[in-house]
């Protein structure tokens, strides 16, 4: 197994939605032993600390239908700069959230490093709303759309360029709560989605094999970013998330997915988001995050 230099970047931000607590996610994941878990596999870990997050008033601007636009723009820019910096140094960026709006910043930093970046979006939600389609104005439901160039210019042009990823280079795994506007966009753009229907029907092994074949052979990506929202997993295993959706991916299926992604050597950066300790039970959700991070970096039973 290749030994990696891994840079952990915390993003203690909950401005992308209106339920408090997810800003403590990076601390919860660290407390659950993420550094020790990765180092036990022989990798080198540098904890880069947390991105400084500015205050926000929580209001939705009438003109934009976006909550906390400036604060999220500032945080995304700082995160993008940091991700680019550690990636340029040859390190694997591992970003800990924070709500899923942080993916806007992560992708703005990582996509500059690749000609044809792929994205695996492991999530119960498509996160492809814009200000025109969002029922809430919550930006944590918009990062994927912003990353392929749809939405407010402040979100789409973080670090001065857009798009960050091509829609045809995205694979969504675990979807089971998709808004009408997102559903239409998925069909129009031909985005590859494995909903819970496909996972139940095909099995997780076949879903990951299909994903690998699609991204490596059909799309010919030269790097793949994994964006894993803990609400992609069934809330039986991850109670500490802000938008739980029943009927999700199982704990064991998620381990299998991470193990297969590791064995394929396809993942070049990753983020784990939406751990909310206030809603959790004895840090169970952070423990799951750390266990899945371990599998992604090569942890095996034998």
Q: Tens of pLDDT along 56-98?
A: 888 888 888 999 999 999 999 999 999 999 999 999 999 999 9
Question: Encoding tokens for residue 23?
Answer: 């800003």
Q: Is 218 exposed, middle or buried (0-12, 13-18, 19+ CB in 10 A)?
A: exposed
Catalytic residue check, 127? yes
- Per DSSP, 91 falls in state P
What the block records as the tokens of 40 is 């036990």
Per DSSP, the three-state class of 262 is helix
Does residue 123 have an active-site annotation?
A: yes
DSSP 279: G
Range 199-203 average pLDDT: 98
Q: What are phi and psi of 10, to 5 degrees?
A: -90, 140
Calculate the alpha carbon distances from 153 to 66, 74, 234 in Å.
Answer: 12, 13, 34
User: Would you call 231 a catalytic residue per the annotation?
Assistant: yes
Neighbours of 64 (CB within 10 A): 14
Least confident of 25-34, 56-65, 215-224, 272-281: 56-65
* pTM (predicted TM-score): 0.97
Strand blocks (E) in 4-91: 5-11, 44-50, 60-61, 66-67
Q: Which domains does the chain have, with CATH numbers?
A: 5-296 (3.40.800.10)
Give the tokens for residue 69.
Answer: 């636009």
pLDDT of residue 62: 82
* Catalytic choice (23, 179, 182, 229): 229
Instruction: Give the model's pLDDT for residue 302.
Output: 78
Neighbours of 230 (CB within 10 A): 34
Q: What is the average per-residue pLDDT within 227-243? A: 97
- Residues 14, 74, 99, 123: which is the catalytic one? 123
* Tokens standing for residue 208: 């990951």
**255 is a catalytic site residue:** no
How far apart (Å, rounded) are the C-alpha atoms in residues 79 and 63?
Answer: 26
Are 63 and 146 in contact by the 8 Å Cβ rule? The answer is no
Residue 177: DSSP 8-state: B
Contact 164, 111 (CB under 8 A): yes
Q: Please, which pLDDT band fits residue 1 given cuts at 50, 70 and 90?
A: low
Question: Is residue 100 annotated as part of the catalytic site, yes or no?
Answer: yes
pLDDT of residue 58: 81
Distances from the Cα of 104 to the Cαs of 2, 23, 87, 161, 290, in angstroms?
Answer: 29, 16, 16, 12, 22
**pLDDT band per the 50, 70, 90 thresholds, residue 19:** confident
**Ramachandran sector of residue 65 (left: φ over 0; alpha: ψ -120 to 50; beta: rest):** left
First to last CA, the chain: 14
Would you call 140 a catalytic residue per the annotation? yes
Chain segment 124-177, per-residue pLDDT in tens: 999 999 989 998 899 999 999 999 999 999 999 999 999 999 999 999 999 999
Q: Residue 82 corresponds to which tokens in the numbers above?
A: 């940091």
* Set 140, 152, 225, 262: catalytic member: 140
Query: Which entry of 14, 179, 231, 259 is annotated as an active-site residue?
Result: 231
pLDDT above 90: percentage of residues in the chain: 92
In the set 15, 50, 74, 100, the catalytic residue is 100
Q: What is the mean pLDDT of the chain?
A: 96
Q: Please report which helix (H) or strand (E) contains residue 97, including its range.
A: strand 92-97
Q: How far apart, in whole angstroms, are the C-alpha atoms of residue 120 and residue 122?
A: 6
Q: Which two tokens stand for residue 262?
A: 């590791």
Catalytic annotation, pick one of 14, 274, 280, 287: 274
Provide CB contacts within 8 A for 80, sequence distance 6+: 105, 106, 107, 108, 109, 158, 159
What the block records as the tokens of 169 is 């280079």
């Amino acid at each position: 197994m290749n030994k990696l230099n891994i840079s952990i970047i915390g993003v203690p931000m909950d401005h992308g939605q209106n339920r408090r607590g997810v800003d403590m996610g990076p601390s919860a994941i660290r407390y659950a032993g993420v550094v020790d878990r990765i180092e036990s596999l022989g990798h080198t870990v540098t904890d880069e600390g947390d991105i400084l997050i500015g205050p926000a008033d929580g209001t939705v601007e009438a003109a934009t239908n976006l909550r906390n636009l400036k604060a999220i723009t500032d945080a995304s820019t700082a995160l993008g700069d940091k991700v680019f910096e550690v990636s340029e140094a040859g390190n694997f960026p591992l970003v800990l959230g924070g709500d899923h709006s942080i993916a806007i910043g992560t992708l703005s930093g990582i996509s500059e490093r690749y000609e044809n970046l792929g994205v695996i979006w492991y999530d119960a939600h498509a996160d492809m709303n814009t200000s025109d389609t969002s029922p809430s104005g919550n930006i944590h439901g918009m990062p994927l759309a912003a990353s392929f160039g749809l939405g407010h210019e402040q979100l789409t042009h973080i670090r001065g360029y857009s798009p960050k990823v091509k829609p045809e280079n995205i694979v969504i795994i675990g979807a089971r709560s998709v808004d009408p506007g997102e559903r239409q966009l998925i069909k129009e753009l031909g985005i590859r989605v494995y909903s819970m229907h496909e996972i139940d029907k095909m099995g997780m092994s076949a879903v990951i094999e299909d994903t690998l074949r699609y991204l490596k052979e059909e799309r010919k990506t030269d790097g793949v970013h994994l964006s894993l929202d803990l609400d992609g997993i069934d809330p039986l295993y991850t109670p500490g998330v802000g938008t739980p959706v029943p009927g999700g991916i199982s704990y064991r299926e998620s381990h299998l997915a991470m193990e297969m992604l590791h064995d394929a050597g396809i993942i070049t950066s990753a983020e784990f988001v939406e751990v909310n300790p206030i809603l959790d039970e004895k840090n169970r959700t952070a423990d799951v995050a750390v266990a899945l991070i371990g599998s992604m970096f090569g942890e095996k039973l034998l």
